Amino acid sequence: MRRVAAVVFGVVLSGLGMTVAAMPAAAQQARTMSDVIDHVITNENRSIQQIRQYSPLVETYIQNQRPDRDLGTVPAGDKYFLGRADFSKGVALVSLTDTNTKGRKIFGAIGNFFSFSAEFVPGGFLQMIFIDTNGFDKEHYKFDYVRREFLGEVRCLVFDVTPVEKSGKGRFLGRIWVEDQDYNIVRFNGGYGGSGHSSWYFHFDSWRTNVQPGVWLPSFVYSQESDVHYAITKHLDFRAQTRLWGYNLGHANQEQELSKILVETPVQDDTKSANDLTPIQAQRSWDRQAEDNVIDRFERIGLIAPHGEVDKVLDTVVNNLEVTNNIDVDPEVRCRVLTTSTLESFTIGHTIVLSRGLIDVLPDEASLGTMLAHELGHVVLGHRMDPSYGFFDNLLVDDKETFRHFGFARTPEEEKAASDKAIQILKNSPYKDQLGNAALFLTALEGRQKQIPNLISGHLGNRVPVIADLKSTAAPDQKQSQQMIVALPIGGRVKLDPWNDKLDLIKSKPIGTVAEREKMPFEVTPFMPYLTRFTTEPAKPIAASTTGQPDPKASEAQPGKP
């Protein structure tokens, strides 16, 4: 007998000097600060060559901003790009979301990030994962040591980097953070110099993750501008997030399977019970095979995360809905997570798929339950997927054709029926007394649909359902609604491992009272990841801290211990 389980789904909002003698023993080969800089330059140029063997997924989401008297700024339009990087011959992108757009290529010198026609160039944001691909050395740059500083658990040396005079346009100007064991750059913040009248370079904050021993790969880039003027009367104000993941696509599972191959003794088939399938059972088995084919395909190209912690949370909420409504369907309902930031949900047969971005912005468990109840409605009502995916040859399409080839959007009639069924399910669920929060979330989302159309447009399924009857069924307390968090900023709940695509829930400390300007529903915010060094040991839960601030215990750190 299954029981209703509780799910932890709370609101998440989330200069010390040194001498060379204090460095870890593993890095003692650098005896002077000049030696340290030489190591930094060598490693950075090596990393440029190292990354050429990878083709990660690259997602860039841009929100234009406009001034608001009460909130400071609010979204005023957006753009979205998802593609696969090709570093084999430079910095190239192949779009997955726009089959009519060829991948833009930037090679050698830095390209334009923003043209005179006010069009963003996706490759320009991807270029921000490199400091300089055309001469990062002492001949072109001056390095000034600033201090030692912790980024998460990683102790770093901080340098200000400035181009030497007459070194050319497009050179980096800003600050770098260098981990103090092998001298790899793990963060750099600043911009490229030399913008002209018809094109601009943007400011950015670029982060790398330690995905393997000695390997730090680009993972996050935050960019923002608020004072760029073009034409005569037009003004550019935007925030942008770029994420990279899927560096080790397909390899991890293959290696794990090969390592577990065992020689087994022959199995004697002496079963006496009936094993033949009825036509209905055969159809269910075929549909499940089609589900598995699609999910496996999406996981291999990085669009669905491997089963993990977040899926278990979703499964628990679905179980709560099923138990309290006496729902028993075969095959069983399961949940998976789409890795993109767009807000969408859909079903692949009996598999409910929610995007990482949607989970990120949901304010509480009741709102999550509402999203899952809608998709569960599709399952209960028997809304099927295309059974042709049961044939393996229908899965063999080029990555860039994925969004055109696969589609799981429902008709308006099916969506209405699923929403009506969701209301019935929610009335009997453990969340029936908390649906006011979900109503506020859907109202806020509906109010922002004109400002963030690309964020809430589904690429594989339908956009987030607006369940109209929920507003009247679960009217929120107006006195409390002004103080509530109706939706979180993008990236508020889930963190994505760029190497193996695994998802984990963000664990952070409570931050107390939140001002109205700090709520930022559905908005882009800077990245402040908690950096750690790669280890094969299980990670211990660590609450997030203020990243980038000098560690008050840094002076007590012992050599060789970050």
531 is written with which tokens?
A: 């950096």
Instruction: Report how far residue 132's alpha carbon sits from residue 509's, in angstroms, rounded to the nearest whole number.
Output: 37
Task: Judge if 353 and 496 occupy the same domain.
Answer: yes
Domain that holds residue 367: 282-514
Same domain, 162 and 214: yes
One domain, residues 329 and 433: yes
- Strand partners for 495: 504
Sign of the Cα pseudo-torsion (396, 399, 404, 410, in order): positive
- pLDDT at res. 138: 93
Residues 287 and 243 in one domain: no
Q: Any idea what the CATH number is for the domain that residue 230 is in?
A: 2.50.20
Q: Of 213, 184, 191, nearest to 132 (Cα)?
A: 191
Which pLDDT score is estimated for 15? 37
- Burial class (CB within 10 angstroms; exposed 0-12, middle 13-18, buried 19+) of 408: buried
Based on the domain organization, do 219 and 305 belong to the same domain?
Answer: no
- What's the pLDDT score for residue 260? 52
| 288 and 234 belong to one structural domain | no
CA atoms 303, 307, 310, 316: torsion sign: positive
**Surface-to-core class of residue 92, CB atoms within 10 Å of its CB (0-12 exposed, 13-18 middle, 19+ buried):** buried
Residue 532 lies in a domain: no
338 within domain boundaries: yes
Same domain, 156 and 28: yes
| Distance from C-alpha of 202 to C-alpha of 200, rounded to nearest angstrom | 6
Q: Is 271 inside any structural domain?
A: no
Question: What DSSP assignment string belongs to 41-63?
Answer: HHHHHHHHHHGGG---EEEEEEE
- Is 538 inside any structural domain? no
- Report if residue 561 sits inside a domain: no
Residues 216 and 336 placed together within one structural domain of the fold: no
> Is 349 among the domain residues?
yes
212 with 337, same domain?
Answer: no
Question: Mapping DSSP to helix (H, G, I), strand (E, B) and coil, where does residue 554 land?
Answer: helix
Residue 266, pLDDT score? 61
> Distance between CA atoms of 430 and 266, rounded to whole angstroms?
49
Return the number of other C-beta atoms located less than 10 Å from residue 299's C-beta.
Answer: 19
Same structural domain, 220 and 305: no
* DSSP character at residue 209: E
Residue environment code for 100-120, b if the CB has 16+ CB neighbours within 10 A, otherwise e:
eeeebebeebbbbbbeeeeeb
Which of 187, 220, 247 is a domain's end point? 247
Q: Are residues 235 and 361 in the same domain?
A: no
Structural domains of the chain, count: 2
HEC-encoded secondary structure of 252-269: HHHHHHHHCCCCCCCCCC
Tell whether 272 is covered by a domain: no
| Amino acid letter for position 133 | T
Distances (CA, A) of 197 to 114, 145, 192, 194, 224: 11, 34, 15, 10, 19
287 part of a folded domain: yes
Domain end call among 514, 531, 554: 514
Cβ pair 550, 531 in contact under 8 A: no
Residue 251: the pLDDT is 53
Residues 306 and 194 in one domain: no
Residue 11: its pLDDT value, please?
A: 47
User: Taking the chain, what is the end-to-end CA distance rounded to the nearest angstrom?
Assistant: 48
pLDDT, one tens digit for every residue, the chain (562 residues): 566 777 656 544 443 334 443 444 444 567 889 999 999 999 999 998 888 889 999 999 999 988 888 787 888 889 999 999 888 767 778 888 764 444 333 323 333 333 333 456 667 788 889 999 888 999 999 999 999 999 999 999 999 999 998 887 888 999 999 999 999 999 999 998 865 444 467 889 999 999 999 899 999 999 998 866 554 456 678 899 999 999 997 554 445 444 555 555 565 656 556 678 888 888 888 888 889 999 999 999 999 999 999 999 999 999 999 999 999 998 999 999 999 999 999 999 999 999 999 999 999 999 999 999 999 999 999 998 888 888 888 888 888 888 888 888 888 899 999 999 999 999 999 999 888 888 889 888 988 888 999 998 888 888 787 776 675 565 555 555 555 788 999 998 999 999 999 999 988 777 777 777 778 889 999 999 999 999 866 555 544 444 444 444 443 333 333 3
